[in-house]
A and B are shown apart, each in its own frame.
Chain A
Amino acid sequence: MLKSAIVTSSGTVASEGNPAASKTSTSLGSIGLVFLCTLSGAAAQILMKHGANHITGAGLIGILTNLPLLSGYCVYGVNTLLMVLALRRGHLSVLYPIIALTFVWVTILSPRFFPQDHLNPFKIAGVALIVSGVSLIGLGSRE
């Protein structure tokens, strides 16, 4: 039974040329896409924060005429599309925790864009913990 399974799986491999999809739960391409999502997610958050700090005009007009805020929303849209494409070939339990890297980029980049934000030992420790947690989950999915 085991042997036939191997033959079948190698037959599939030969015909489809995609051993990773059948062997492991989550493809490297999906992990790469979610990684991209975290970068664009951080960009969206920084754009939206920048926009929210500079709203001119009242109510809905203030939001609809605010270019950084609107671009932030658009980037979020692209972000969701990337996430869907990634989820096609991957486990949610592996891909979703990678999103936590967004915290890392926002924490590191915020002081560059918002002078009142500073790095401190707590934030640096938090960044290190999240990076190690995400790496552990990512590496665990490759076994």
Chain B
Amino acid sequence: MTTPVSSMALVLGASFIGSFGMVTLKSGADRLAPGILPVFLSWRIAAGVALFLLSSVLFVAGLKNGNLTVLYPLVALGYVWTLFWSRLFFHEPFNRSKLLGLALILVGVIFIGLGNR
């Protein structure tokens, strides 16, 4: 089965938007007052949830057609974006275990994609 470029674009877009959902959620979480209720009143968290919903719609549309061997690595790119944003926006340190761990996860997701052919 060949993978349409549109599917690749959808999945890539979904992983990108989803990573921004994570950033929005984190910036909301950092500003929360204690307790559960403030979670439901934060516009940042609402925006993060909206970005997740959008990314899940794109994921479903993108994964419908095409080969998971091609598409799963694009899904896993979401982990790479998120690592970049956590450095850029929250000044979190990179260290060797994060980079190596992330590389193992990426190869692992690629293998699961291969196994789902």
Interface residues of A (CB under 8 A from B): 25, 80-81, 83-85, 87-88, 91-94, 96-97, 100, 103, 107, 119-137, 139-141
Among the listed A92, A126, A129, which residue makes an inter-chain contact with B85, where contact means beta carbons less than 8 Å apart? A92
Q: Tell me the bound Cα distance from A129 to B103 in angstroms.
A: 9
Asked if B9 is an interface residue, CB under 8 A from chain A, the answer is: no
A-B contact count (CB 8 A): 133
Query: Using Cβ atoms and an 8 Å threshold, which residues of chain B touch A100?
Result: 76, 79, 105, 108-109
User: Which residue of chain A has its CB nearest to the CB of B29?
Assistant: A87
Q: Tell me the bound Cα distance from A119 to B116 in angstroms.
A: 9
Q: Tell me the bound Cα distance from A93 to B85 in angstroms.
A: 9
Query: Using Cβ atoms and an 8 Å threshold, which residues of chain B touch A25?
Result: 92-93
Asked if B86 is an interface residue, CB under 8 A from chain A, the answer is: yes
Q: Hey, what's the 0/1 contact readout for B85-105 against A, CB within 8 Å counting as 1?
A: 111001011111110111111
Contact B95 A103, beta carbon cutoff 8 Å: no
Interface residues of B (CB under 8 A from A): 22-23, 25-26, 28-30, 32, 36, 39, 45, 48-49, 52, 76, 79, 82-83, 85-87, 90, 92-98, 100-105, 107-116
* Other A-B pairs, 4, CB within 8 Å; known A129-B105, A130-B108: A96-B82, A126-B108, A131-B108, A134-B101
User: Which residue of chain A has its CB nearest to the CB of B75?
Assistant: A103
Question: Known interface pairs A80-B52, A84-B45. Does A92 touch B111 (Cβ–Cβ under 8 Å)?
Answer: no
Q: Tell me the bound Cα distance from A133 to B104 in angstroms.
A: 5
Q: Tell me the bound Cα distance from A103 to B48 in angstroms.
A: 22
Contact A140 B115, beta carbon cutoff 8 Å: no
Among the listed B23, B39, B98, which residue makes an inter-chain contact with A84, where contact means beta carbons less than 8 Å apart? B39
Contact B82 A92, beta carbon cutoff 8 Å: yes
Q: How far is the CB of A142 from chain B (nearest CB, A)?
A: 10
Query: Using Cβ atoms and an 8 Å threshold, which residues of chain B touch A136?
Result: 97, 100-101, 104
User: Which residue of chain B has its CB nearest to the CB of A26?
Assistant: B92
Question: Known interface pairs A84-B25, A85-B39, A100-B79. Does A93 touch B92 (Cβ–Cβ under 8 Å)?
Answer: yes
